[in-house]
Structure 1
Amino acid sequence: MPEGPVRVTGTLLAVLDALLEADNHELHGWAIMKTTGKSGPTIYKILERLAESKWVTFRWDTDTEPGKPRRRYYQLTGEGVSSARQLLAQRRTKTAPAGRARLAFGECGA
């Protein structure tokens, strides 16, 4: 297994799948939560672990409307892309279909 997050869970795999499906676009946490169907605390803890492992980079939105919270956008690094693909391939069985996340790209950054 590639170096990276210590705990590999189904939710981690779903987050990685969502980020891969974004095809090199940034996603904010809410879009990842909506795509995976998991709660905010769970998703943000995973994103924190991925950032510590250098699989994900993030940036704060600088163009926020007054009165609205800033969003943090996440994107896989080059290492993260190759490691995520390798990890997902190792974890998927040959009989299970490769479930792809469905994203509404209107919900991701440029």
Structure 2
Amino acid sequence: WDSCVYPNRKDACPHQAHQVMGPDDGGMDEEWTVGMHEADKASTGDKFTIKFLVSHDGHPKRVTWEKIGGREEKEEAPRKVPEKVQKMQEPQEAAGRPGRFSAPRKWEEPAEEA
């Protein structure tokens, strides 16, 4: 924790004014909090893309995020059943190469679900 980047307030977010601090050893009680501000429109199971933006000279500039998916999308997504599955076999020592191991893979039919 000798070199952290952090906001100058607790529960900071892109929807409220704040400054990006650091990198240094501060920020023990300050953090960004995704989903707390009503503008995030967040609920349990939502997914966000978080971006850490830096200036052209590499200094921390800001943190942003946007919602990319949620619980509704997970419920509607069809489940893919593989035609065949790949299984790893026990690692075997490579011939003529002591201390080197490989784990061959083989394709198998998927197990029937109960």
Answer with 1 or 2: which has the greater Rg: 2
The structure carrying a bigger strand percent of its residues is 2
**TM-score w.r.t. structure 1 length?**
0.23
Relative contact order (C-alpha < 8 Å, sep 6+): which is higher? Answer: 1
TM-score by length of structure 2 reads 0.23
